[in-house]
């Protein structure tokens, strides 16, 4: 049983971490997968290549595109190549993110602009470029958010962009309703990805949080997959929190 057989998913920022787990989950469910990474010639290109090979070994088609979503031209290339190679797009998962780790008030002008260019404008570029393809398939868009959208995180200016994007998700779910494109988001708790390695440098004692409150990348991926499956047909414009209960547990001692 491969529910997504014959479908095509594109996951932005999928060489590592949560994006990587989402790409695998979609491939396991039968979809062909477009992998995207930003930086040419570095470790993420290598990981993207390995991921493509693994997905092909599962019997799916996969290819990778280097593109920085902050630029309109690279985004155009991302979707043009998807259409050329796979001829369709069913699921767009907006996972890519990039941000400095320091308090908002300390960001330089160029850092502020980059923050908005990648994490807000870049995502909207992707939505715009994907529309002609998604219209044809009554496709789905899933944005990967984080608890930073609603709670303070030390040195995490990305949170404000996540909040903005959750609002974009609400807006687009209505404005794209006529095109039969559904838009939802998954809001992840604390996941031990490469970004976590950074976060823990700014968040003293985060390692002391009980293990059961950390989210596995697969747990986010499964909900992203659910939001692209028929079972979620009644959900639109929503952000589903996947945090192992962290946001409820935070006001009391864990385990009490």
Question: Interface with other proteins by CB under 8 A: which residues?
Answer: 16, 39, 41-44, 46, 101-102, 106, 108-110, 194-195, 197-198, 200-202
Instruction: Give the nearer residue to other proteins in terms of CB position, either 84 or 105.
Output: 105
Q: State yes or no: is 156 an active-site residue.
A: yes
State which H helix or E strand residue 43 sits in: helix 43-57
Instruction: Give the nearer residue to other proteins in terms of CB position, either 52 or 141.
Output: 52
Q: State yes or no: is 120 an active-site residue.
A: no
Set 7, 98, 162, 244: catalytic member: 162
DSSP string of 162-206? Answer: HHHHHHHHHHHHHHTTTTT-EEEEEEE--B-SHHHHHHHHHSTTG
Instruction: Give the nearer residue to other proteins in terms of CB position, either 124 or 155.
Output: 155
Can you tell me which residue has the tokens 């992203």?
224
Among 38, 41, 37, 32, which Cα is nearest to 15's? 37
Residues 6 or more apart whose CB falls under 8 angstroms from that of 213 comprise 189, 190, 243, 244, 245, 246, 249, 254
Give all strands (DSSP E) within the chain, no chain letters.
8-11, 32-37, 62-66, 91-94, 140-146, 182-188, 239-242
CB of 40 to other proteins, least distance (A): 11
CB of 209 to other proteins, least distance (A): 16
CB of 101 to other proteins, least distance (A): 7
Set 102, 156, 192, 197: catalytic member: 156
CB of 43 to other proteins, least distance (A): 5
Instruction: Give the nearer residue to other proteins in terms of CB position, either 170 or 200.
Output: 200
User: Would you name the residues annotated as active-site residues?
Assistant: 156, 162
């Amino acid at each position: 049983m491969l529910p997504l057989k014959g479908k095509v998913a594109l996951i932005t920022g999928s060489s590592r971490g949560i994006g990587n787990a989402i790409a695998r989950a979609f491939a396991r469910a039968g979809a062909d997968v477009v992998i995207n990474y930003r930086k040419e010639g570095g470790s993420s290109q290598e990981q993207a290549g390995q991921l493509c090979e693994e997905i092909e070994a599962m019997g799916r088609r996969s290819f990778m595109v280097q593109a920085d979503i902050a630029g309109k031209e690279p985004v155009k290339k991302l979707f043009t190549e998807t259409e050329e190679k796979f001829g369709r797009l069913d699921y767009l998962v907006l996972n890519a993110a990039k941000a400095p780790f320091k308090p908002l008030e300390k960001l330089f002008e160029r850092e502020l602009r980059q923050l908005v260019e990648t994490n807000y404008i870049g995502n909207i570029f992707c939505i715009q470029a994907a529309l002609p393809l998604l219209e044809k398939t009554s496709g789905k868009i899933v944005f990967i958010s984080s608890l930073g959208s609603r709670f303070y995180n030390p040195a995490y200016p990305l949170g404000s962009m996540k909040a903005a994007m959750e609002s974009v998700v609400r807006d687009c779910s209505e404005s794209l309703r006529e095109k039969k494109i559904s838009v939802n988001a998954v809001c992840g708790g604390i996941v031990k990805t490469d970004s976590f390695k950074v976060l823990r440098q700014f968040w003293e004692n985060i390692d002391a949080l009980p293990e059961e409150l950390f989210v596995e990348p697969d747990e986010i991926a499964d909900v992203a997959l659910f939001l692209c499956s028929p079972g979620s047909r009644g959900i639109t414009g929503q952000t589903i929190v996947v945090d192992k209960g962290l946001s409820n547990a935070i006001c009391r001692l864990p385990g009490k």
